[in-house]
Every structure is written in C-alpha cells, then in structure tokens.
A and B are shown apart, each in its own frame.
Chain A
Amino acid sequence: MARFNSPEELEKFRQDLLSKRDPNAPCISVCAGAGCLASGAREVINAFEQEIEKQNLAASVETKGTGCPGFCERGPVVVIYPEQICYLQVTPEDVPEIVSTTIVGKKVVERLLYEDPNTGEKAAHESDIPFYSNQERTIISNNIKINSKSIDDYLALGGYSALAKALFRMSDVEVLEEVKKSNLRGRGGAGFPAGIKWEGSRNAPDKTKYVIVNADEGDPGAFMDRALLEGNPHSILEGLIIGGYAIGAREGYIYVRQEYPLAVENVTLAIEQAEQYGLLGENILGSGFDFVVKVHRGAGAFVCGESTALMTALEGRVGEPRPKYIRSNIKGLWNRPSVLNNVETWANVPLIINKGADWFTSIGTEGSKGTKIFSLVGKINNTGLVEVPMGITLRDIIYKIGGGIPGGRKFKAVQTGGPSGGCIPEQMLDLQVGFDELTKAGSMMGSGGMIVMDEDTCMVDVARYFIEFLTDESCGKCVPCREGLRQMLKILTDITQGKGKEGDIELLEELSETAIEASLCALGKSAPNPFLSTLRYFRDEYEAHIKEKRCPALSCRELVSYYIDPEKCKACGICLRKCPVDAIDGGKKKIHIIDQEKCTKCGTCFEVCPDRFGAVTKISGRPVPEPVAEEDRIIRKSKTK
C-alpha cells in the first residue's frame, strides 16, 4: 500500500486513480446507510452483485454501498452512474430488470422513478426531484458517490487536498484566520463561532492540546451526524486533522455513541486507512506534523453531548458536567485546552480550506453562514436528511423539500433544536432558518432535528414528551434540573390527564425560571424550552386542558371519548368486530353504541370506521350524548337509496 511522503505523491496517486477510472463506466450506487439497510439495502446490493455476475458484467460494472443521500422516506435509494438515474424503494426483485434495462439497455425503468404526487410527472435524475433540487448540498452530496469504506473513493473526489493545502501552502495561523473569517458556527447546538473557540485553545499556554469530534448525537429523530460519519468518515477526519494543525494539537478523539455501530465501524476503518496512507500518524505527508486520532464509544447518556460531561466521560469517569466556570477550550480534557466541535462542523472545515472563507460566507444570512443539515421527520411526506442554505424559510423546507403534510392534514408546528428546542407555529413559517432567528423565536438551531407536527398533535403532550425525555436523561447532579424537571413532568402529565389545576401554568413558569437560572449545565438551563415555547404560541391549548378538561387536538387519551354518531352509523359491524374489549353493542341493521364504561379509548373503532361513513367521532371537553333509545336503533332502508 502506498504511503505518501509529500503532497506531490498524494496528487500523483489521485491522478493515477482517476486515470484508471472510466468516468463513463457504469456504476451502481446503493445507499448503505443505517436507514436504507433497515429497509433492505444489503439484500439489494447482494442482488446487484449476483445479477452482474450472472450477466457476465462484473468486469465493467461496479456496485458500491454508499453513504446516505438523505431521501430515507423512499429507501433503499439506488443511483446508476454515469447517467445519474435515481431509483427509489428498490427491492431485490427489481434488480434483474434494472441491470437488463438500464445497465445493458440504457433505458429507464419508469416504475421505479420518483413521481410527483401532484402532477404525476416522473423524474429520472436526483436533480429533477424537488426533494433534492431545492436543497444546497455541499457537505452531504458526496455521500452517494463514495463507497463509505473506501479511502480511494474519497481521494478520487479530491479528498485530503484541503489537508495538503493547509499543511504546505498555509501556516497554522492562516488556517485559523480562514476559519475565523468564515464565521463557521458550531453545528452541535449553541452555535458558538468555531474560529474563536479554536483561537482560545491555540493561545492557551498549555502545550498539550486536544481536538475532539462530538458524535454523541442523541436528539430524538435526529440523524445528521450519523449519516456523515457512516457515509463519509474521511471528510470529518480531514477536518479534525486540519483543526489539530491550526491549534497545535497532536491528538484527536472521536466521541461516538455506542448506538451507532456502523459509524464506529466506518470511522475506525477510515482511521486505519488514513494511517496507512501517511495522512495520519507521524510526519503527515512529510510535513513534520504528527497527529493521531482515537475513537471513544459513549456509554449511552444524552448529557454526554454536553461538552464538559463528554470530556469527563472521555477521561473514563461518570459522564456528568463539570461545575467550573472555565471554558473547556482553555481547560478541558485532562485539564488541557480542548476544542470540541460537532461532526458537521468538522465536515465543513475541508470545504472552507479548499474553497475559501469568501465562498463559505457567500451562503447564508448575516449571522449564520454556510449550509445546515436537518433531519426532517414527523408528519411530513418526505422524511429524510436535507441540507439547505442558512436563511431558507421553514416554509420552503417543509413544503418545497418536505412535500408538505401527509393525508391532507393541516400543519400545526415544527419543533426544532432537539428536546430542549422549541415549537414554531404556522404564523411563523416564513421565518428564516438561522442561529439567531430561531433563538429569537423561542426555539433554537440545536443540532438540526426538525419534527413536523400536524393538527392532530397536542402541544401540551409534546411538551410533556420532551420534558419526560429530559427528566430521564438528566444526570441528577443539580437540584434545579433533577427536582425541577421531576415536578414539571408531574404537572404536565396531570394536565394531559385532565387533572390540571388553576395555578399550574404559573408554577411551571416558576420552575422554569429556577432551571434556567440555576442549573449547572446547558441541559438543565434549556430544559424548560419545550414548555415555554408551547406556552408562548399555544397557551389556549394549556387553558383548554386545565379549565375545560378539553384536548383541542383530540389527542390526550384521558380527555377524549369515542362516540358513534347514530345518524351516520350504517351498522356495518366492522368496529364491533374489531373492538378489543367488546365495548361496542350492535347488530345487523342496529345502530352501534359504545359502552363508555368498558371503552379503553384505544381508537381502533375510529380508525376502522369506513371513511364513507365517518360515524365514529372523538369528543373532548363535553359529555358524550346519551345513547339513542333501544326502539330507535333499528335502521330502516331509506327510500332514496
């Protein structure tokens, strides 16, 4: 295996690689990210390999398992090069046809293409699909082009050229200045300018310094960092090495959560490959700069995403935040200056070095530059990862890229920023996405989770859910967080169960103040956000729950009753048969009635009642009407039908 002793050797190797690769040779890229693997991508890859073998095409056609391109909703995703034909929801049974028709016959398999739900128009290429065409994919776009286990694939796309540039054509100070000038802000939560953080560490007197990747991604429904680390691990490594060079660190750590086995596997392999090529280790590319990277697996605590807790855990102790008022870039891991940045932040670094800070600042808003990856989940048609320029509106993300709300339901709110973020209502959909803009709206950028909610979502219950998550994940060290959240969860649970009292909102507000002002770390300080932001925009829902014992979204089980409208019931018997507790009484031509005493409110009757009848309804905040008298329950045939 080659070991590069100079940037020229790296460049020569790259040119050799490219000259051996025919850009017009067919290549089948199948997403091998965790999402697509779960929907059968491994079987699809195997089927392609077998079919290629069977049709004697192995010499001319390459099949590769790649990183995640983001369109998880329609996985497994397959892209055929060089035409870049994009097939969605591919199964092993589709494979022979794809090979015969597209690889051999150079024709498109129409039925596997994206079809616009409104116009019915088919789109053959990634760039024709609105989900992709409305994004700006600078970081994630390489995922589908790279076999996530191949350093050569990364090199072929120009990989490690930013490192070579930094080491040989820029001084460490120039690298730092470029990152500062780019105004790259941390993608993990707080949005602190990376360059300023780096500078603090660089200027700290201690000679031993560390750089660390925070890959402890734990927000419910967020998987941006997983996709990057699994799909393109070298891009993060390259960023980290450049960061080490800029601040004068010789050691780096990747703190990745235990629950991401594929990310651990791919990044560990990437480190080995980079070491073999002389891109990591001693005397990188002959520059005299030494740098090593170690992978540390987190043991499964959400709070370890907090910088001081992460460093404590890295040191091998219980992952609890430190109480000290000293920045970790001055005294962090083992009390040494330590720069901790999130996966996506590091992935931006090679781009900034290669393309320059001016390119980076040309994207985005005044305060937020570059792009941001969001994981778009919840009540949205196109679930997946989206990379957008800062400054795009929430409306564009949700409707143009996300394809709107499924089932013709009405949009209600979008939750951003992870569990300690907030909910943004419909009237603010034209808000530009940026660090300061989201904070001003009572939410935050966070690491990029974006959960879309429709009219069936109860906002009090949403707050309760996130507070429950945070209560569970609090380390329990300080009183305002541990005890404050315990009480907040109790009160919120009571409200959703119809046991809310006058004064509950005020008490929750007071508990929030204590948590915000007095908690030890950012988890506690931001924990009341789910409550405060839902209260800010949906106070009426809180009041309806407390004063009228009514859940306006008809979602809270204890506040909802199911009722069969006698005018609409056709006595079809479906709900009667499906009810798991035999709470429905009825018969042939006999209007069905729900026994409210027996009903467990599972909602089965509501779901199975045919749409054309729509007889089962939910009631909240008022008593269920008295059942019709026994003698009126027989349905007589209407003369008009």
Chain B
Amino acid sequence: MSEIILKIDGKEVRAEEGMTVLEAARSAGIEIPTLCHHDKLEPFGACRLCIVEVQERGRKKLVVACVFLAADGLVVTTRSEKIDRIRKMIIELLLAHAPDSFKLRQLAEEYGADRNRFEKEASFCIHCGLCVRYCAEVKQKYAVGFIDRGIRKEISFIPEIAAKECPDCKECFPLCPTSYLQAAFVLTESLAFPSS
C-alpha cells in the first residue's frame, strides 16, 4: 500500500491508498458526523450526513466522505456554511421520525437543527441499515431485511430465521440509533415466533 498525502481542513493528513476520506479524517482525529457508517461494514452512503467538499484538479464538489476515496493531493473541507446547512436539514428530516433519538438530539445541538421543523411522523426507523447490514455482512444470517421501497420502506425480521438466530445474538441492538430495532424484534417475537 502506498502512502498518500491529502489536506483536510488545512491539515496535512497521511493516509493509505484505498482509504476513504472518512477513514483518513478519523485516523487524523478529524471528526465527520455519520449515522449509517460502521467500521466493520461496507460503506453504505445512505444518511449523507458525512457530506464534505473535495477539490480535485481545481474542481470543487460535494461528496460523501464514507464512500469517496482519499487520493494524493486531495483537498477536503469538512465544514462550511453550505455543508452545515445540508447536515442540519438531514437531521431535521430524521428528527420527524425519531424525535427522541439520543444520537440525533446530540447532532441537532451541534448543527442547530430544529426538532420541530417538520411534522412528526414517528416511525422511529431512520433506515440507516446498520442492523440489516450487520446481520448480513458480519453474522451472515440475514434475519432482518428491508421491505418495500421509498417512503414505505421499513425493516422487518424474517420470523423463520429470527426465531432461530436472534435470541442468542442480538448484537445489532446496540447499533440502532433510535432503539426502534428492539421494538421491531419484540413485535416479531410476540407475533410470529413459535411458542416454546
């Protein structure tokens, strides 16, 4: 692996080729907020909270740091008026669904997001996919998945698999930023698990 040098918020950062901007930043102690990222999982690029500005060959563009690869000579800006405005909007959109999520409220404070900007539609799940991907990529059990699409999309446990695999695992529970996952599990358990 060859070493590359990029600049993040004016600071020179040494990284290895193949690292994402997020990995490079975090390795240098520069924090970029994320919701759907997990070190053990493939980059997902869904919450878009880690949006940053990169400058490559003189051209500036907005990209998400969890997917965009670090490159030699790349110039990254992790905060700007525009970036903060977009992050604030993303947090506000999600707060409509999970107004009491600790993680979201922390972020709201940082970015001055208004918890009540959008009408509450408390579905709790914010579709970060951590549970679905952890179960598939790390545990390879596929006990929880996404169903439907767009604004009707939700997570759902597959009772046949969940009944067998979940009781002794539950490793996804602490990953959930809204605690909705546990509720979904308990619901599945009570409705669809065979009575022992």
**A and B interact:** yes
> A: which residues have CB within 8 A of B?
301, 318, 323-325, 471-480, 482-487, 490, 510-511, 513-514, 517-520
- The verdict on A487 contacting B47 (CB below 8 Å), with A325-B67, A517-B86 known, is no
Residue of B at shortest CB range from A326?
B69
Q: Report the tally of A-B residue pairs with Cβ distances under 8 A.
A: 95
**Subset of 19 A-B contacts with CB under 8 Å:** A301-B149, A323-B45, A324-B43, A477-B46, A479-B93, A479-B126, A480-B48, A480-B89, A482-B150, A483-B93, A486-B151, A487-B93, A487-B96, A513-B85, A514-B86, A514-B89, A518-B62, A518-B86, A520-B45
Q: How far is the CA of A173 from the CA of B154 in the complex (A)?
A: 49
Residue from the list A324, A511, A520 in contact with B46, Cβ < 8 A:
A520
In this complex, what residue of B is CB-closest to A514?
Answer: B89
Q: Which 8 A-B pairs have the closest CB atoms?
A: A323-B45, A476-B153, A483-B93, A474-B150, A476-B150, A518-B48, A514-B89, A323-B67
Q: How far is the CA of A476 from the CA of B97 in the complex (A)?
A: 14
Which residue among B47, B48, B51, B146 has the maximum number of chain A CB atoms within 10 Å of its CB? B48
Give complex CA distance A471, B93 in Å: 15
| A324 / chain B contacts, CB cutoff of 8 Å | 43, 45, 67
Select from chain A the residue with minimum beta-carbon distance to B154: A476
- Is B118 an interface position by the 8 A CB rule? yes
Least CB distance, A70 to chain B, in whole angstroms: 34
Whether the pair B127, A510 counts as a contact (CB closer than 8 A) is no
Q: Do A325 and B46 touch across chains, with their CB atoms under 8 A apart?
A: no
Find B51's partner among A318, A475, A511, A518 (CB 8 Å cutoff): A518
Least CB separation from B49: chain A residue: A479
Find out whether the CB atom of A479 lies under 8 angstroms from the CB atom of B150: no
CB distance B153 to A479 under 8 Å? no
Contacts of B193 in A (CB 8 A): none
Given A474-B151, A476-B127, A484-B93, does the pair A325, B69 have CB atoms closer than 8 Å?
Answer: yes
Q: Is B40's CB within 8 Å of the partner chain A?
A: no
Chain B residues lying within 8 Å of A518, measured Cβ to Cβ, are 48, 51, 62, 64, 86, 90
How does the 8 Å CB contact mask read for B80-104 relative to A, with 1 for contact and 0 for none? Answer: 0010011001100110110000000
* Size of interface on B: residues with Cβ below 8 Å to A: 34
Closest to A301 in B: B149
Partner of A323 from the list B43, B86, B118, B148 (CB cut-off 8 Å) is: B43
> Which residues on A sit within 8 Å (CB–CB) of B43?
323-324
A323-B64, A476-B148 known; 8 other A-B pairs, CB under 8 Å? Answer: A323-B43, A475-B149, A482-B127, A482-B150, A483-B90, A483-B93, A513-B86, A518-B86
Bound-complex Cα distance A483 to B126 (A): 10
Q: Is B110 an interface residue (CB 8 A)?
A: no
Contact string against A for B residues 119-148, beta-carbon threshold 8 Å, 1 for contact and 0 otherwise: 100000011000000000000000000101
A510 to B113, CA, bound (A): 14
B44 at the interface (CB under 8 A from A): yes
Pair B46/A479 contact, Cβ less than 8 Å:
yes
B127 with A520: CB separation less than 8 A: no
- B150–A471 contact, CB under 8 A? yes
Determine whether B57 belongs to the interface, using a CB cutoff of 8 Å to chain A: no
Contact B151 A490 (CB under 8 A): no
Contact A510 to B89, CB < 8 A, known contacts A323-B67, A473-B150, A483-B94: yes
Knowing A325-B69, A483-B96, A518-B48, the reply to whether A476 touches B86 (Cβ < 8 A) is: no
Q: What is the distance, in angstroms, from A325's C-beta to the closest C-beta of chain B?
A: 5
Known contacts: A477-B127, A520-B45. The answer to whether A325 contacts B63 by CB under 8 A is yes
Chain A residues whose C-beta falls within 8 Å of the C-beta of B97 in the assembled complex:
483
Q: Is B111 an interface residue (CB 8 A)?
A: no
Question: Which B residues between 18 and 55 are near A, CB-CB below 8 angstroms?
Answer: 43-49, 51
Q: How far is the CA of A474 from the CA of B51 in the complex (A)?
A: 20
* A-chain residues with CB within 8 Å of residue B148 when the two chains form the complex: 476
Q: Could you tell me if B149 and A474 are in contact, using CB atoms closer than 8 angstroms?
A: yes
Task: Establish whether residues B151 and A482, one from each chain, have CB atoms under 8 Å apart when the complex forms.
Answer: yes
Cβ of A520 and Cβ of B48 under 8 Å apart? yes
Q: A511–B43 Cα gap in the complex (Å)?
A: 25
